[in-house]
Structure 1
């Protein structure tokens, strides 16, 4: 909704806002009181900066992005190697950034860009560090912090106060439990819990909510148990188990996606199974 006195489809800037005349503003943008927008910023149509929002650097906010008070977007990274290079920050359409969030631009040593996808929700007090890449539909709950170069796949859920080590990858559709310290990669559709995150199963609740049918979920359950048997007695090497899963279940797209993720190069390795104080039954809902 437009602010009082703002006509729909027309850009409105509060008198107390500081907007560099070189910034690019789309139609229907609203920039609220005490906001600041730098010269290299591009705001798409219907972007809304509520109040006391600071946007700097070579930063793009696509159509319909909404940023709540006291958030900063596109400021320099917290990296001692950063020397003022012209790096970037990009936020996809319709993403909502709540209060007190910090999103830093990339580094020359990384990809040069921090990128957040479309239709994401980043809740209050979260931190998205330099060179992070978040897919579409990601939800970041309150107080989550990320190190640099973290990659989060589409529709993943990172629950409250989780901490993600730099270079960690979180796969498509995975869920990271609250208060987790994630030091290693999380497989697609995986579910991790605990002070030091341990893989306790797949994100069964998320799979059901996204419309995956019961038959496929059962096949994924069997594939997961083949990859990570509950008993260590006579357990074969992970590579051998992956080969068996590929032969038996590789025709299932989501299982194939998990296997591709596990085979890709990783700076951190894969999160290992463990109870972390809960059982698989606890996360099935």
Structure 2
């Protein structure tokens, strides 16, 4: 049975399917569609022609703009109609034309989006992606399936991310870039093919990381990428040297983790 809070404001032209849960102070504009297995958290707002479908939960104070489709079936040839989910956290904004798909059974059945994320117009989050919080996807960003993005990463307009790729915390990807391999925390990637071009020092500074720490992370970066040899072996060799620097260890732990993709570097993809 549908549960609609008495404080919700719903335009009469919108369709709310039986079974939907509409929280306190939700606003639903004209010509919207809310599916029967959708939960809209307190204070969420749907602008005209927004669609929320599938087994989808939207946290508190989300804002979904016109022509966005949130919770649609995964775009996977392996999906045969199984019931999977999409969970979106609090204070997420999805601008015009954004699409975020539910998971697939093969990928664990769940797409997850954290809190305070901003998805600009026509960006796409595919099935089974796992996104942290305070992430920005600029216009027309394309995430393939199973992508994992850690907190505070920023992806520039029109960039594309290969399936199963990991993007570390506070990484930055330039507009129109192709991210085909894992991108370390604080890394900057540009171009097609995407090349690692140093550290996101501006973002680190804005996040309150002090100059001395930035220099330590830069030293670790140079040891990893300015010297010949296998990156994972070098990362293991310098762990003791940087054990006192949380941010540098975050980079080394990211490199050491199991992954389906190789690591982005300043050289990979160059002819």
Q: What range describes the TM-score normalised by the shorter chain of this pair? A: over 0.9
Residue 73 of structure 1 aligns with which residue? Answer: 70
Residue 218 in structure 1 maps to residue 215 in structure 2: yes
Structure 2 counterpart of 1:102: 99
Partners of 1:194 and 1:276 within 8 A in 2: no
Give 5+ residue unaligned stretches, structure 1. Answer: 1-8, 278-285
State the Cα distance separating 1:275 from its structure 2 match. 9.9
The DSSP-based 3-state class of the residue aligned with 2:70 is: strand
Aligned residue runs from structure 1 range 229-248, under 5 A:
229=226, 235-248=228-241
2:142 is the alignment partner of 1:145: yes
Distance 1:148 1:61 in 2: 20
Is the 1:30–1:48 Cα contact (8 Å) retained in structure 2? yes
TM-score under structure 1 normalisation?
A: 0.90
**1:48-87 → structure 2 map (5 Å cutoff):** 48-87=45-84
2:148–2:166 contact (8 Å) kept in structure 1:
yes
Measured in 2, the distance between the counterparts of 1:207 and 1:84 equals 43
8 Å Cα contact 2:235/2:256 also seen in 1:
no
Q: 152, 172, 196: which is aligned to 2:169?
A: 172
Shift of 1:237: 3.3
Count of aligned pairs: 265
Deviation at 1:60, TM superposition (A): 0.2
- Contact (CA 8 Å) 1:193, 1:276: kept in 2 or not? no
Whether contact under 8 Å (1:200, 1:274) holds in the other structure is no
Give the Cα separation in 2 of the matches to 1:111 and 1:259: 27
Gaps of 5+ in 2: 1-5
Q: Residues 11 and 26 of structure 1 are in contact (CA less than 8 Å); yes or no, is this contact kept in structure 2? A: yes
Counterpart residue number, 1:131: 128
Partner of 2:245: 252
The Cα shift of 1:268 comes to 1.3
**Residue of 252, 261, 271 corresponding to 1:268:** 261
Offset of 1:185 from its aligned partner? 0.3
How far is the alpha carbon of 1:135 from its aligned partner? 0.4
Structure 1 segments of 4 or more deviating over 3 A? 274-277
Which residue matches 1:37?
34
The answer to whether the Cα contact below 8 Å between 1:182 and 1:196 also exists between their aligned partners in 2 is: yes
Q: Tell me, what secondary structure is at the counterpart of 1:249?
A: coil
Superposition TM-score, scaled by structure 2 size = 0.94
Q: Equivalences for 1:112-131 in 2 at 5 Å?
A: 112-131=109-128
Q: CA deviation at 1:132?
A: 0.7
